[in-house]
Amino acid sequence: MIDRAPAATLVIFGATGDLTRRLIAPALVHLMRDGLLDDGFKILGVAREMGDDAMLCDSLEKFLRENGTLEEEGDQHGWSALRHRISYRSGDFANPALFSALTAELNGAVIFYLATAPSFFGPLVDALGDAGLLDEADGFRRIAVEKPFGTDLASACALNARLLGRAAETQIFRVDHFLGKETVQNIMVARFGNALTGAVWNNRHIDHVQITVAETVAVGSRGAFYDATGALRDMVANHLFQLLAMVAMEPPNRFDAETIRDEKARVLKAVHPVRPEDTVRGRYAAGEAGGQPVVDYRAEQNVAADSRTETFVAAKVAIDTFRWAGVPFYLRTGKALAARDSEIVIRFRDVPAAPFEGIEGERPANELVIQIQPREGLHLGIVVKRPGPTLTTASVALDFCYAEAFGLGRPTGYETLIYDLLIGDQTLFQRADMVEACWTAVAPLIEAWRQGEPEDYAAGTTGPAGSGALMARDGRTWRAIA
Ligand code: BG6
């Protein structure tokens, strides 16, 4: 039985924007449906658009209906109950009058969710601080801030310093939505809750690790943001490194936020700065992905015709710890690829060949696949004897699928994060030092990629040829994107 989260007001800056309607609102509907929000839970949306409470509620409802969030009866009840708790204030984030009004209106526990463009993060937190809104005298005051946290090490350090000048680290919740995904949280339990995995999780038994986040979507309407960002900053320096930290961290002594974040920070700080020669950057060219025609990246709306931004990255990463010395982590992510497929592959070392000499059959090394999306689960590839009078071997899979075992519904991943924000559990949020460690690791690439061009790949494929070559150089292959 999960407890209801405590009463609080959720102030969403950017309440009419994409993040609010696509992810935050559906998650709140699900939390309401499941009875996890207190009777004193309220939402105050803030944005520049003129309008009143009904404007925000109607536009959210329209979006939720069109996107299938309200198909089930439970979700409709959830929304009806939530709708009455929503109010709206139109205002200019640069106008101090907005914050004076908020000061008069707000009391008790408050969460300020910055669902805005990153350029507002610093100014908004300054304004909240100036207005005394971060003072915790009559209840907690928390700030939720979405990635990107800076665009390189220097800007991330500056942003962290600015936020920490106004609020304590315990008040700042840096959201990396990958950490809300069910299978990502399961990595820790699968690793540390099972003697079997714990025993082999090291460089004596593991040959290498692959982390793939493949998307079929192209940049769509996000050209302006994406062209200034690229796959390295958008995905690698945060989502992929978070997955790496989950796989590579040492066992925490306790499952509490600080102990877990200490261990994650420790391993992120042990990642070698990635060498440009161990990477490949790609850019999609025209083709078809996810059943949709895709134009050349440089012909996308709001993308510069002479853009050098990468839409694909593959990188070999080394971690300098006793556990991982000599075990490469290969990371890969890209847009407009052959399939939507996010997974972590733990490839174990080969068994000694002698007993099987002269014996026919498949004998790939064991492989544990942690499937993050779209089909959340675990898959263990093992070798067995093929039935019959002669001894031949076959490769089969032991499979666990989350949806089949537990019925997952359609969580957005934000349910857990918002619930944790309300109860004040920072386990799944990034701490300042973790963010800075990630930027430190990719700093050589940011520098090197000021020059040169990404390698083209046709949309709908598995990325540029260089990606396969990066593995082939080490005598290895990527697991197929499927
Ligand atoms: C976001 C990136 O953080 O994550 C997007 O900015 C990306 O470019 C998205 O598409 C992927 O998240 P998900 O949950 O859809 O896999």
Cβ pair 155, 121 in contact under 8 A: no
Q: Please identify, among 142, 175, 208, the residue that sits at the C-terminal boundary of a domain.
A: 175
Tokens of 124: 């908004």
Tokens of 164: 């920490």
Instruction: Kindly report, residue by residue over 295-309, the tens digit of the pLDDT.
Output: 999 999 999 999 999
| Residue 95 in domain | yes
Instruction: Kindly report, residue by residue over 422-453, the tens digit of the pLDDT.
Output: 999 999 999 999 999 999 999 999 999 999 99
Counting residues of the chain whose pLDDT is more than 90, the rounded percentage is 91
**Statement to judge: residues 147 and 190 lie in one domain:** no
Closest CA to 442 of 210, 225, 279: 279
Tokens of 307: 């853009």
**Statement to judge: residues 139 and 223 lie in one domain:** no
Q: b/e string for 167-191 if b means 16 or more Cβ within 10 A?
A: beeebbbbbbbbbbbbbbbbbbebb
Distance between CA atoms of 63 and 17, rounded to whole angstroms? 11
Distance between CA atoms of 400 and 378, rounded to whole angstroms? 5
Pairing of strands 206-214, 429-430: unpaired
Cβ pair 214, 337 in contact under 8 A: yes
pLDDT band at 408 (very low <50, low <70, confident <90, very high): low
pTM: 0.95
Residue 352: its pLDDT value, please? Answer: 83
**Statement to judge: residues 439 and 465 lie in one domain:** yes
State the residue for tokens 């857990």: 416
Residue 111: its pLDDT value, please? Answer: 98
| Residue 417 in domain | no
Mean model confidence pLDDT for the chain: 95
Print the domain residue range for 271. 181-410+426-472
- 239 included as an active-site residue: yes
Tokens of 107: 């009391």
Nearest atom in ligand 1 to the alpha carbon of residue 176 is 3
Residue 480: its pLDDT value, please? Answer: 95
**Statement to judge: residues 171 and 194 lie in one domain:** no
Catalytic residue among 30, 84, 239, 379: 239
Residue 358: its pLDDT value, please? Answer: 85
Q: In sequence order, which residues have a C-beta less than 8 Å from that of residue 482 and are 6 or more positions away?
A: 339, 341
**Statement to judge: residues 124 and 56 lie in one domain:** yes
**Statement to judge: residues 152 and 201 lie in one domain:** no
| Residue 479 in domain | no
**Statement to judge: residues 90 and 72 lie in one domain:** yes
Q: What's the mean pLDDT in 17-24?
A: 94
**Statement to judge: residues 325 and 358 lie in one domain:** yes
- Domain total in the chain: 2
Instruction: Kindly report, residue by residue over 23-72, the tens digit of the pLDDT.
Output: 999 999 999 999 999 999 999 999 999 999 999 999 999 999 999 999 99
CATH code of 463's domain: 3.30.360.10
Q: Please identify, among 147, 175, 203, the residue that sits at the C-terminal boundary of a domain.
A: 175
Is residue 278 within 6 Å of ligand 1 at its C-beta?
A: no
| Residue 126 in domain | yes
**Statement to judge: residues 162 and 218 lie in one domain:** no
pLDDT tops 80 at residue 410: no
**Statement to judge: residues 212 and 296 lie in one domain:** yes
Instruction: Kindly report, residue by residue over 122-137, the tens digit of the pLDDT.
Output: 999 999 999 999 999 9
**Statement to judge: residues 240 and 159 lie in one domain:** no
378 forms beta bridges with 370, 400
CATH code of 127's domain: 3.40.50.720
Distance between CA atoms of 470 and 209, rounded to whole angstroms? 14
| Residue 482 in domain | no
Is residue 341 within 6 Å of ligand 1 at its C-beta?
A: no
Q: How far is the CA of 213 from the centre of ligand 1 (A)?
A: 9
| Residue 3 in domain | no
Instruction: Kindly report, residue by residue over 258-291, the tens digit of the pLDDT.
Output: 999 999 999 999 999 999 999 999 999 999 999 9
**Statement to judge: residues 389 and 329 lie in one domain:** yes
| Residue 152 in domain | yes
Q: What's the mean pLDDT in 380-396?
A: 94
| Residue 21 in domain | yes
Is residue 207 within 6 Å of ligand 1 at its C-beta?
A: no
If you ran DSSP here, which 8-state letter would residue 118 be given? G
Q: Please identify, among 175, 196, 216, the residue that sits at the C-terminal boundary of a domain.
A: 175
Is residue 215 within 6 Å of ligand 1 at its C-beta?
A: yes
Distance between CA atoms of 404 and 144, rounded to whole angstroms? 33
